[in-house]
Structure formats: structure tokens, C-alpha cells
């Protein structure tokens, strides 16, 4: 676990993507890359919106990733280019302070998050000059963690360019922290799996301390990712942070109701730990303490004996200052229920009963229903897609990632994959010309991929 990301010697020209990236780099900068770095996206099999509450999640890395070619030079500049013309060039001097404008989440700010994370970790006053070309294959804003893959790739290559060394766990922790500069108060699942993934296995990711355990998936089914083709840019909207804040307020109210000192508590998992209660007991506590009607700001303040100003500074984030109502009962119910489903999913995988495929599928379906009805992080397109996936032969299907758009992950018996893909194609993609045009990169089988790595010319 304390291992560093691998450095792999590769014949660059024998890999089509690396070779093309090298050529693009040489044309752009008139020099050759010194090394390459890549970080994968991920699909979360179960455990949605609970990482920032302190609960374990169960993702696997996907094959799609962010790949960068890098030279280290004496230009005194950080220069960025992207193979996708949608993402404009950027440069800044190494002596300039890195400032991330979270009101305007341009692509290079995600890159700069990674640079800043490494700079702060080592207290580097003058960063090495570097030129980079980025090439990404993860559909953006689709719940497959393109943003975190970019931050992780940047953190890894900045560490390498500045001749520093860190374990995968430290890199994951630094990148989880520094991605928050973009304004989204994420929990750390994405950066953890991006560094700690290993080919062929999903992982249970646990926090505090961060650790990853192999989860052996049953042999029978495969996982299919399908994109509903509606994008949701987390940093450009407040949906995500509203949920983080609702969980934070629920934490305080539950803790207070059971006589705990809530001053140091911000995560729902901490209340469980303090009370030494089971998840079942936490679900009962939610029903006893929280009411299903939304809480107004005034009611929150009255219940917690705090002022509106304290609510604003201590509990709300900068993009949730205007929120007037908070659905605390529904959000806390989802979190404790989903945390329990993750543990059941892991134990079904570990014990491998004959009916495990059905049991896992059932848990995925329950997870989707909870995301849709209690956490309200689905959308009509995703619900329709999940429905179609189930009718097309999946034993379980659910939204994956932040939601409000993006992808579903379905568990499909191997022998049914071809008919499943065809049925989803016909029912969801082909009837709509925009979806049909995106189908190739929006519907695919995914096997557990490896973690972030550095590549050097052989
Ligand atoms: P996700 O769920 O994929 O992490 P986000 O909305 O959080 O979605 O982040 C998507 C953002 O990440 C994009 O708007 C873009 O700024 C950045 N991004 C993703 N892929 C790339 C890429 N290949 N090159 C540059 N920036 C990228
Ligand atoms: P995606 O789907 O990559 O936007 C986000 C968070 C995760 C996690 C999931 C929901 C970030 C960087 N990622 O993922 O930490 O909370 O939503 O389970 O904020």
C-alpha cells in the first residue's frame, strides 16, 4: 500500500496513442517529451454520495484516462495544450502564484489544482518549468471522474517534473484535497481509485485512514456503462455542494439530539462512530429525530442554537449561500442506507453464494431508487436509461457518480451482453440523432483497469 505509482519503460512508438501524442507534442513545442503520465477515470459500482460523509465506496478504474506528455525545461513557464481543440492553450510563469477561479471552472484550473497540491505539499517556491500536452478519453461531466483523472494526472506529473516522490496513498489524499480548490467539496473516492486501482479487481475504498481492499467480482456478469448523454458540470452548478451541506447540517442535528458535542462533527459517519451504533440503528435515529418536510434556514438555526451568520460561515459553502430549504431526513436516510448496501455488496462478493449475481443486482437497483427518490440526484434521462437497461437484460442498473446526468452502470450476465447492447442501442440511442451520434463512446463494457502511472521511453 505504501508503494509509489509505477514508472513503466515503454516503446512509445509501438503504442498508437502515445505515438500520436508524442508527434503532437513535438509539433507544438519543437522538443520531445521527457515522460508521460496517465490517470484513469472510474465507475462506481455502489456507494453514491457517501464518501464525503466518511463511508466506504466500491469503485473500479476504467480503461479511459487522462494522458499527458511532459517536458521539463528552463522556460520558467508552465505551458499547457490539449489534443481536444475545445480546451484552449494556457500558460503561466512558474514564479506567479497559482490562483484557481472557482467561479469560472475552465479546464486548466483542474490541472492547476494538481500543481498547487504538490507545490504546497513540498513547499516548493519555484516550480520546474514544464510543457504538457493533455489527451483525454473520459467523457466529461458524465460521472466517470474526468475532472479527478485530470487533477491526479497533473499531481503525478508535477511530482515527477519536480523530482519528488510520494506514495499512491499520499498522492490520492493530496489530489482529493486540492481538487476542492475548484469549489466542489468532494469526498476522495475518485482520486483514491485513480491511484490505488489494480487491473482485474474492483476496490473497497475506506477513509481515515485511506485504504483500498480488493473486491473479487463474481465470474458470471460483466459491467456495462451507458451514458444518458446529458452532461452535468459539478463545479458550474450547486447541486453537489447542496447535498454536502444538507449532510453536514443533518450530522449536527442528529449529534445534538443524542447529546453529543457536535462542534467537531461534520460527517454522518462520525455520529455513528460516536454513538457506537449500527447502520440499522442510525436509520431508526433518522426517523426519530428528523422530519421529512424541508427545514428552513430559520428552523436549522433554531434547532442548532446558531445565528444565520454562523450557518452561513460554518456550514454553507460559497455556492450554497442562497439555499433556503434543506431536506435532511431524505439525505441522511440515503446515506446510512447506501453505506449498509456497500458493506452487503462487499460481503456477497467475498462469500460468493450461487445466487450472488441476483443479490448484487438487487442492491444496485435499491441504490438507484434511493439516489432517485431520497437523494434526488438522478434525472428523467437517467431514470429512463436505467429502466431500459433492466428491460434489456441487466440484473441490476443504477446511476454512477454524482448524477443529475451522465452514466448508468449495469450488471449484465455475460451470455446476454450482445443482446443487451443491441436492445439498449435500439431503445435509447438510435431514436434520437444526437444520442445516436454519441453511441460509440456512450455504451461499452468495462473491466477493472489499473491505476495512475508514469511512462518513460524504453
Ligand atoms: P466528471 O464527472 O467527469 O468529473 P466534472 O463536471 O466534474 O465531471 O468535470 C468535467 C471537467 O473536467 C470538464 O468541464 C473539463 O474542464 C475537465 N476535463 C475533463 N476531461 C478533460 C480533458 N480531456 N481535457 C481537459 N479538461 C478536461
Ligand atoms: P463525479 O461523478 O466524478 O463527479 C463526485 C465526487 C465523488 C463522489 C461522487 C458521488 C468529486 C471530485 N467527485 O464524482 O467524490 O462524491 O460524486 O458518489 O467531487
DSSP letter string, 212-254: EEEE---SSEEEEEEE-S----GGGSSHHHHHHHHHHHHHHHH
Q: In what order do the strands lie in the sheet with 407-413?
A: 396-399, 407-413, 221-227, 443-446
Closest ligand to the CA of 180: 2
Whether the Cβ atoms of residue 399 and residue 225 lie closer than 8 Å to each other:
no
Q: Which of 109, 140, 182, 379 to mutate to test the pocket of ligand 1 (most atoms within 8 A of CB)?
A: 140
CA distance 328 to 294: 7
Kindly name the residue from 51, 135, 190, 373 that is annotated as catalytic.
190
CA distance 314 to 264: 11
CA of 191, closest atom in ligand 2: 12
Ligand 2 atom 3 nearest Cα: 145
- The reply to whether 190 belongs to the active site is yes
CATH 3.30.70.20 describes domain 7-219+448-457: no
Note the pLDDT tens digit of each residue in 362-415: 999 999 999 999 999 999 999 999 999 999 999 999 999 999 999 999 999 999
**What pLDDT shows up at residue 355?**
87
Q: Locate the domains of the chain by residue range.
A: 7-219+448-457
> In terms of pTM, does the model score above 0.85?
yes
Find, among 219, 225, 227, 228, the residue nearest to 410 by Cα.
225
Q: How many CB atoms lie within 10 A of CB 437?
A: 11
Q: Which of 102, 145, 244 to mutate to test the pocket of ligand 2 (most atoms within 8 A of CB)?
A: 145
**What pLDDT shows up at residue 352?**
83
Q: Which of 102, 107, 181 to mutate to test the pocket of ligand 1 (most atoms within 8 A of CB)?
A: 107
Ligand 2 atom 6 nearest Cα: 186
Q: Which long-range contacts (CB under 8 A, 24 or more apart) does 257-260 make?
A: 257/285, 257/288, 257/289, 258/285, 258/289
CA of 437 to the centre of ligand 1 (A): 20
Ligand 1 atom 26 nearest Cα: 107
Pocket of ligand 2 (CB under 6 A): 44, 48-49, 51-52, 143, 145, 147-148, 179, 184, 186-187, 189-190, 234, 401-402
Mean pLDDT per 10-residue segment, the chain (458 residues): 89 96 98 98 98 98 98 95 98 96 93 98 96 97 96 98 98 98 96 98 97 94 97 89 98 98 96 98 98 98 97 96 97 98 97 89 98 98 98 98 98 97 98 96 96 96
CA distance 48 to 368: 9
CA distance 50 to 207: 11
CA distance 147 to 406: 13
Amino acid at each position: 500500500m505504501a508503494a509509489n505509482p509505477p514508472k513503466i519503460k515503454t516503446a512509445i512508438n509501438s503504442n498508437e496513442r502515445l505515438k500520436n501524442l508524442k508527434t503532437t507534442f513535438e509539433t507544438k513545442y519543437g522538443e520531445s517529451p521527457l515522460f508521460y503520465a496517465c490517470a484513469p477515470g472510474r465507475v462506481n459500482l455502489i456507494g453514491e454520495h457517501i464518501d464525503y460523509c466518511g463511508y466506504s465506496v466500491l469503485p473500479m478504474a476504467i480503461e479511459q484516462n487522462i494522458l499527458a506528455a511532459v517536458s521539463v525545461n528552463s522556460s520558467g513557464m508552465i505551458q499547457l495544450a490539449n489534443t481536444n481543440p475545445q480546451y484552449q492553450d494556457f500558460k503561466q510563469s512558474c514564479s506567479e502564484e497559482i490562483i484557481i477561479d472557482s467561479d469560472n471552472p475552465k479546464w486548466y484550473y483542474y490541472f492547476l489544482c494538481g500543481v498547487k497540491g504538490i507545490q504546497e505539499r513540498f513547499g516548493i517556491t519555484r516550480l520546474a518549468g514544464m510543457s504538457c500536452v493533455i489527451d483525454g478519453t473520459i467523457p466529461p461531466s458524465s460521472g466517470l471522474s474526468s475532472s479527478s483523472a485530470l487533477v491526479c494526472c497533473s499531481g503525478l506529473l508535477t511530482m515527477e517534473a519536480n523530482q519528488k516522490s510520494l506514495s499512491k496513498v499520499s498522492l490520492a489524499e493530496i489530489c482529493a484535497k486540492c481538487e476542492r480548490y475548484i469549489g466542489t467539496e468532494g469526498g476522495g473516492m475518485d482520486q483514491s481509485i485513480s491511484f490505488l486501482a489494480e487491473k482485474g479487481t474492483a476496490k473497497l475504498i475506506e477513509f481515515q485512514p485511506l485504504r483500498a481492499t480488493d473486491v473479487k467480482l463474481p465470474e458470471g456478469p460483466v459491467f456495462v456503462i451507458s451514458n444518458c448523454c446529458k452532461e452535468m458540470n459539478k463545479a458550474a452548478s450547486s447541486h453537489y455542494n447542496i447535498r454536502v451541506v444538507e449532510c453536514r447540517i443533518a450530522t449536527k442535528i442528529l449529534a445534538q439530539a443524542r447529546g453529543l458535542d457536535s462542534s467537531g462533527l461534520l460527517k454522518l459517519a462520525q455520529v455513528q462512530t460516536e454513538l457506537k451504533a449500527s447502520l440499522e440503528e442510525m436509520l431508526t435515529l433518522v426517523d426519530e429525530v428528523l422530519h421529512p418536510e424541508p427545514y428552513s434556514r430559520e428552523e436549522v438555526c433554531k434547532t442548532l442554537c446558531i445565528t444565520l451568520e454562523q450557518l452561513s460561515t460554518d456550514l454553507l459553502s460559497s455556492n450554497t449561500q442562497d439555499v433556503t430549504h434543506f431536506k435532511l431526513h431524505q439525505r441522511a436516510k440515503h446515506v446510512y442506507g447506501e453505506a449498509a448496501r456497500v458493506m452487503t455488496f462487499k460481503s456477497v462478493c467475498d462469500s460468493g453464494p450461487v445466487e450472488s449475481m441476483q443479490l448484487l443486482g438487487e442492491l444496485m437497483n435499491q441504490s438507484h431508487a434511493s439516489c432517485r427518490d431520497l437523494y434526488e440526484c438522478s434525472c428523467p434521462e437517467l431514470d429512463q436509461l436505467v429502466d431500459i437497461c433492466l428491460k434489456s437484460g441487466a440484473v441490476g442498473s443504477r446511476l454512477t457518480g454524482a448524477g443529475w446526468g451522465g452514466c448508468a452502470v449495469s450488471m449484465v450476465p455475460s451470455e446476454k451482453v450482445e443482446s443487451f447492447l443491441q436492445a439498449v442501442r435500439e431503445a435509447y440511442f438510435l431514436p434520437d440523432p444526437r444520442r445516436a451520434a454519441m453511441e460509440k463512446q456512450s455504451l461499452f463494457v468495462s473491466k477493472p483497469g489499473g491505476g495512475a502511472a508514469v511512462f518513460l521511453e524504453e
